[in-house]
């Protein structure tokens, strides 16, 4: 048998044994994502809201089909019979569940164990986050290696040695997810008011769209909001977590460490609003602050942080100021700052899954529509406002399987909707969504880029449109911005 491959039937038996073992271990360790699966009563609330349709196409009329496939398998000690790579980690199922059963979280727990991405974890250990090289396959397979090189040269993001060392020391002694428990009651959220200062987060995905980050800083400055940054801030762990490269506890420790960095950078004060261009980051911080509101969870985190001489003393000090919540507080000021009305643009808007996950509702929030309307662009209502873009996880999965140009069902749906409505550009709140749209050939702008263009920002120097894979030049030339 040496040198010969196992027959497919034997491989299947081994895979099945491994995955059953994974589930048994996760259940035995009482992973917090599993702790409420027995509350599922197959009410059917989540089934129609799965954008990836990972339940069988013919089962839409079968109430509770999606949840029942997951929870019934767990109750029998088996792996859910689903193609886990098709789950886009939008958490729509958890968002609409009346009992807060995290079907998406359960799938994430199994996926990260079965499909652990050692390359992403190595990047966290070596660089403290996802470096530009993490996105290299997207550029190479698209024939846009030159754009990658140009961004590396013009917008380098060197990792701080001290920060990388702290991350490495945390992750080399991982905690089990079972150490943590969900808080009994949601932590009271500090109401977001018009701040005079914020801490501006650096997003891993900002490498792909440096214009979104530069535009954010331009807007904050124009509104008179002082922003603070820190070279010691690293990845929140959100993107690696959803792509199988960082576990539940890893993400919490990375975000908690950053909270300590933020407190040091901002100094004493009544409160610290934390903002940035990425809703996955926002969701990471909201989830971490909620978990840290529990004394036992905070004690476990601070014990680990003690190894690097850090601590989160008061989670109530922080608030999360996502751009879709922050900028609508300044609509009147933004209207006065508009120099060029973009009335020649016909746009669609896409609200990210993780922004809605953070808010715990699938209702379409008005923030993105209102901010887009401020610029004078004509918003066309469509299904894309609340439908998943297809997900960065799915994009990376396709690259790993050697099928980078094979659009998923979700990709095809949103592309067809874009073409059907004859739109000029998509406007998004998420650099991950921006990457997905850009990769499939849809002209796309982050909301900060759109606002900055209307405020008179240079399309190349500030918005950096030449970094986009799908050209924006024809559109901007037509309306006189180029």
**Averaged over 356-371, what is the pLDDT?**
83
Listed ranges 107-116, 160-169, 391-400; the one with the highest mean pLDDT: 160-169
On whether the CB atoms of residues 32 and 248 are closer than 8 A, the answer is yes
pLDDT of residue 239: 85
Q: Give me the residue label for tokens 């808010």.
A: 359
**Averaged over 261-271, what is the pLDDT?**
88
Nearest alpha carbon to residue 407 among 438, 440, 451: 440
**Averaged over 142-162, what is the pLDDT?**
86
Domain boundaries, the chain: 8-114, 118-325, 331-478
Confidence of residue 449 (pLDDT cuts 50, 70, 90): very high
Which positions ≥6 away from 250 have C-beta within 8 Å?
Answer: 124, 171, 174, 237, 240, 241
pLDDT of residue 10: 43
**Averaged over 36-46, what is the pLDDT?**
77
Confidence of residue 6 (pLDDT cuts 50, 70, 90): very low
**Percent of the chain whose pLDDT exceeds 90:** 41
Q: What is the mean pLDDT of the chain?
A: 83
DSSP assignment, residue 133? G
Tokens of 188: 């009271």
Residues 55, 23: Cα–Cα separation, whole Å = 20
Q: What are phi and psi of 433, to 5 degrees?
A: -60, -40
Classified by CATH at the fold level, domain 331-478 comes out as Rossmann fold (3.40.50)
Where does 201-311 show beta strands of DSSP type E? Answer: 226-228, 272-275
**Averaged over 62-85, what is the pLDDT?**
70
Element (H, E) at 433: helix 431-439
For the ranges 7-11, 34-38, 72-76, 460-464, which has the lowest average pLDDT? Answer: 7-11
248: Cα separation from own chain's centroid: 14
Q: Into which CATH architecture does domain 118-325 fall?
A: Up-down Bundle (1.20)
On whether the CB atoms of residues 33 and 106 are closer than 8 A, the answer is yes
- Whether the per-residue pLDDT at 2 is higher than 50: the answer is no
More confidently predicted of 305 and 94: 305
Confidence of residue 11 (pLDDT cuts 50, 70, 90): very low
**Averaged over 378-403, what is the pLDDT?**
77
- Whether the per-residue pLDDT at 444 is higher than 60: the answer is yes
More confidently predicted of 13 and 190: 190
Confidence of residue 186 (pLDDT cuts 50, 70, 90): low
- Whether the per-residue pLDDT at 473 is higher than 80: the answer is yes
More confidently predicted of 15 and 413: 413
């Amino acid at each position: 048998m040496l040198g010969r491959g196992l027959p497919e039937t034997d491989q299947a038996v081994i895979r099945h044994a491994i995955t059953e073992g994974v589930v048994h271990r996760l259940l035995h360790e009482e992973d917090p994502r599993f702790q409420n699966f027995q509350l599922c009563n197959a009410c059917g609330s989540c089934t129609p809201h799965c954008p990836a349709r990972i339940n069988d196409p013919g089962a839409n009329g079968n109430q509770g089909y999606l949840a029942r496939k997951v929870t019934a398998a767990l109750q029998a000690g088996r792996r859910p019979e689903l193609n886990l790579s098709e789950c886009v980690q939008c958490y729509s199922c958890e968002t609409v569940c009346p009992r807060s059963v995290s079907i998406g979280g359960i799938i994430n727990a199994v996926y990260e164990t079965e499909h652990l991405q050692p390359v992403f974890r190595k990047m966290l250990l070596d660089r403290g986050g996802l470096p530009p090289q993490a996105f290299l396959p997207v550029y190479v397979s698209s024939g846009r290696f030159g754009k990658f090189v140009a961004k590396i040269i013009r917008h380098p993001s060197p990792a701080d040695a001290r920060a990388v060392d702290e991350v490495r020391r945390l992750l080399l002694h991982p905690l089990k997810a079972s150490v943590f428990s969900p808080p009994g009651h949601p932590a009271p959220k500090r109401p977001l008011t018009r701040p005079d200062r914020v801490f501006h987060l650096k997003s891993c995905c900002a490498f792909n769209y440096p214009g979104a980050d530069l535009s954010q800083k331009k807007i904050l400055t124009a509104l008179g909001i002082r922003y603070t940054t820190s070279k010691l801030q690293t990845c929140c762990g959100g993107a690696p977590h959803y792509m199988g490269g960082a576990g539940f506890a890893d993400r919490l420790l990375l975000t908690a460490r950053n909270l300590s960095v933020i407190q040091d950078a901002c100094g004493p004060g009544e409160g610290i609003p934390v903002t940035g261009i990425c809703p996955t980051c926002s969701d990471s911080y909201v989830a971490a602050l909620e978990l840290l509101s529990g004394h036992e969870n905070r004690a476990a985190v601070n014990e680990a942080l003690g190894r690097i001489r850090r601590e989160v003393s008061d989670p109530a000090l922080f608030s999360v100021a996502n751009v879709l919540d922050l900028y609508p507080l300044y609509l009147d000021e933004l209207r006065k700052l508009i120099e060029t009305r973009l009335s020649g643009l016909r746009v669609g808007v896409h609200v990210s899954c993780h922004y809605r996950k953070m808010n715990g509702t699938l209702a379409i929030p008005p923030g993105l529509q209102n901010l887009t309307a401020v610029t004078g662009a004509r918003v066309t209502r469509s299904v894309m406002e609340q439908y998943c873009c297809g997900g960065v996880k799915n994009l990376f999965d396709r690259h790993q399987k050697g099928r980078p140009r094979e659009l998923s069902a979700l990709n095809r749906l949103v592309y067809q909707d874009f073409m059907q409505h004859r739109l000029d550009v998509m406007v998004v709140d998420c650099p991950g969504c921006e990457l997905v749209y850009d990769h499939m050939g849809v002209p796309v702008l982050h909301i900060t880029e759109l606002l900055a263009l209307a405020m008179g920002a240079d399309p190349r120097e500030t918005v950096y449109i030449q970094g986009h894979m799908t050209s924006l030049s024809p559109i901007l030339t037509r309306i006189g911005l180029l």
